[in-house]
Structure 1
């Protein structure tokens, strides 16, 4: 069964639910998500009953906001504890310590940040909320000046995002400090089948504008990216799954791969693929299969067949986060039409209410490799050219 919740579900997801007959739990919030007529809605009591009858039932959430429903209604199962292993980044590091024994990390409360002994921290390091979402509250620190700036920025950002998400999605009181992981960064959509085996449904490379960049601006998938990493990432996901003991369980894994091929996890997001119906929808547009259906039906992609004819093509997700430096209250509008003129083959533009959420939208693209400059430009852009101030 599937759970839907704010902030967003895509038309593609809605169409999939209607066409497939996959049961969707009729929560109060689901009625606010404009699901299509004909969607197979089931009552909350029926959903609970289904899990009581089969605690390995495949469950998918469109948003981590729905985790609170699972915690409140499915506490008789081991699902809330499995989710917590991944959602809490400190618990996840503790879980994986046996296979990554040399990795440095430590938990710290917000009120302890000012008193930390900087000279006892490994440089460079990353600080981020133990329970977080997207890149909120994430900072890379290489020296004491950056540490002072990061602490001030964290306090300011907490004030901006307070109340946007439940504590199960973003907890701004607890943080984790961990060593930087060198190498290329990837986002991988995976599910564990009823035998606990990892099935990879999508691989995207996270590209950055500089070494200091920790934003989520651009992710790219291609035939080359999938072929080069499918085997290694599947093996890696299998290791994580065996440690956690999960089955019929979807995850969105962020990881880094070193030059020597070593794979280290950044974080694993439980019960979903990429947030805001992004990565799974892009995979469907790019490679012609539906990740939601594949998870529900326990299907495995035939990547050798799916990648045929995809040479020289990049499929990208662009996160239009507010990097302008302008306060939201000072912005009158964002010019989406002008944005689209910058790309030869946009697949879908999703406009988001930037006054409610800290993004202008999401853009899904198809780009020929020789036109990579399109992606480089938006990667480096502060988006000011698309913004009109009040």
Structure 2
């Protein structure tokens, strides 16, 4: 008879390693051989019932395998229950990670010396997690153990324990969107001991009982965006508070819907919840108002044909092309155009006054100078006005960055093509970016916030070059000689978004740096500054690798009929490859955003919201 495939009698040996002080951790190594002094005997009768021992039974060391149990040398409250999974993400040669703690749980720690004197069963009582190391006969167990200890030192050297009690909190999630968009927030909330009460249209997918585990309660709310929506949201939350006990009261409010952010900020102010100033959020969502923070280029606002004619009459002969045309309250690069002359200017501005555009973005249209130079996405976390986390990603050229005769007018929009992190720009330019963008964020009124900022660099030492064949492949390269004159004044702000980046970039940052904007955004809505600062600490030494986000967009309109194209490509590559590695081995995550039979708008329209509205209505 065997227990979980373990013989009735099993013997393992173990040793103890101290990790760097910042990890707050001691490691117990469980070996499959008898080369160490301490031994463990386990049988199907009388075996320790703890989750740690069950993990050992399920992943019994055999062959050249190794299991590491993690023990705390400090006492405190768990800040985020799945922190071990989050920080060990994509760690080479780790095949299994499991934490043994609950949200907000208090754990006791002992000194390394105290652990050294304990019996093995005594050690198990202090185990907060465990990992399994890949079996590799080409490398000794000792060498693999040392390498993983080094990784643990880089990944766990941050405050994952709090000295203060972490009580359960509740957030109102108003406008939950699609599962793809909100799933990361739902998972993070559970791990942070945060309950979510969802307010959305009756019939929203989260109202279904099969999604009960994702939220504490669902409250039907008319989400029609009109003059009454702020008051409607505030009233619904107030009524919820009045019908529940004090222990069930809400502690904050947030939304994952970008068009609701200013509305939510006003509602939060009415309700006394933590929020950035509504004026700051509103300014950030208004590209023309944002431009007034840094008036260093030509910029005009037009709201009707008469306004456009006035600009052409007053400035026509002095306009320096190319220019950028975009909705003042747009998002997702919808309706952004680069125009080469007055004819294109008139054509593209007029196209933004179609009802299909104004219904989402209003009538205000910005006309401004097109700035050449490398574009970046910069993500910033502020606590009391100080930057606690900042990272820059390289945003590769869109079709619209090329001349129309080079790329074709039909696809010359600014839908993203590729994004790579961390940025390959030199450190001096990254410092200029942080300094100037921090100044502009403070000028906009933000002090506690997660901000997604888009900018360009003038006078950069780098530029995007095509490959030798002149096709679409580009790479960020240094000019020769590799010098730069970029100063903070050369940072050109494109827009400030008072939110975390899109889910693709959130996932990429979490994998690359070990920092989750899902978690930070939730805590920001609660005003939990301590946990924000703690969870904003990246891996020691910076990013663990380079990550690329690749966006595959339609080049023409029509009807989609390719099924799950991502799955198809990855599976066909795997089946057709004769090599030991294939494309799927290097893809962290993929998502197909269209379904067969769906109408795809031609890129020449500049519209993408049809797809977005569909996504937000589906699980």
Q: Does TM, scored on the shorter chain, surpass 0.5?
A: yes
Conservation of the 8 A alpha-carbon contact between 2:378 and 2:452: yes
What secondary structure is seen at the aligned counterpart in 1 of 2:552?
Answer: strand
Q: How far apart are residue 176 of structure 1 and its match?
A: 0.5
Mapping of residues 68-83 of structure 1, within 5 Å: 69-70=263-264, 73-74=267-268, 76=270, 79-83=277-281
Mapping of residues 36-55 of structure 1, within 5 Å: 37=213, 39=215, 44-45=237-238
Task: Give ranges in structure 1 of 5+ residues lacking alignment.
Answer: 50-56, 164-169, 361-390
Choose between structure 1 and 2 for higher RCO, CA contacts under 8 A separated by at least 6 residues.
1
Are 1:299 and 2:526 counterparts? Answer: no
Q: How far apart are residue 22 of structure 1 and its match?
A: 3.2
**Number of the residue aligned with 2:612:** none
Find the aligned partners of 2:454 and 2:426 in 1 and give their Cα distance: 15
Find the aligned partners of 2:260 and 2:241 in 1 and give their Cα distance: 14
2:509 equivalent among 283, 286, 290: 283
Structure with higher Rg: it is 2
Q: How far apart are residue 141 of structure 1 and its match?
A: 1.3
Find the aligned partners of 2:600 and 2:557 in 1 and give their Cα distance: 15
Change (3 A) 1:91 1:13: same
1:105 equivalent among 280, 299, 323: 299
Are 1:123 and 2:299 counterparts? Answer: no
Mapping of residues 189-208 of structure 1, within 5 Å: 189-193=379-383, 195-208=384-397
Q: How far apart are residue 230 of structure 1 and its match?
A: 4.7
Q: How far apart are residue 146 of structure 1 and its match?
A: 3.3
**Number of the residue aligned with 2:566:** 336
1:265 equivalent among 479, 493, 511: 493
What secondary structure is seen at the aligned counterpart in 2 of 1:127?
Answer: strand
**Number of the residue aligned with 2:261:** 67
Task: Give ranges in structure 2 of 5+ residues lacking alignment.
Answer: 1-170, 220-236, 243-250, 403-411, 461-484, 524-530, 574-582, 604-619
Find the aligned partners of 2:333 and 2:567 in 1 and give their Cα distance: 26
Conservation of the 8 A alpha-carbon contact between 2:451 and 2:496: yes
Conservation of the 8 A alpha-carbon contact between 1:24 and 1:41: yes
Mapping of residues 213-232 of structure 1, within 5 Å: 214-222=414-422, 224=424, 230-232=430-432
What secondary structure is seen at the aligned counterpart in 2 of 1:240?
Answer: helix
Output the aligned Cα RMSD. Answer: 3.6
Q: How far apart are residue 318 of structure 1 and its match?
A: 2.6
The number of aligned residues is 332
**Number of the residue aligned with 2:593:** 352
TM-score, structure 2 length as denominator? 0.47
Find the aligned partners of 1:338 and 1:299 in 2 and give their Cα distance: 41
What secondary structure is seen at the aligned counterpart in 1 of 2:590?
Answer: strand
Change (3 A) 1:274 1:184: same
**Number of the residue aligned with 1:27:** 199
**Number of the residue aligned with 1:244:** 444
What secondary structure is seen at the aligned counterpart in 2 of 1:27?
Answer: strand
Q: How far apart are residue 58 of structure 1 and its match?
A: 7.9
Q: How far apart are residue 325 of structure 1 and its match?
A: 1.6
For residues 56-114 of structure 1, the C-alpha deviation after alignment (integer angstroms, 9 at most, x for no partner) is x98654221332651663454773222111101111112x1xxx343211100143476
Find the aligned partners of 2:214 and 2:496 in 1 and give their Cα distance: 33
Q: How far apart are residue 126 of structure 1 and its match?
A: 0.4
Find the aligned partners of 2:349 and 2:602 in 1 and give their Cα distance: 23
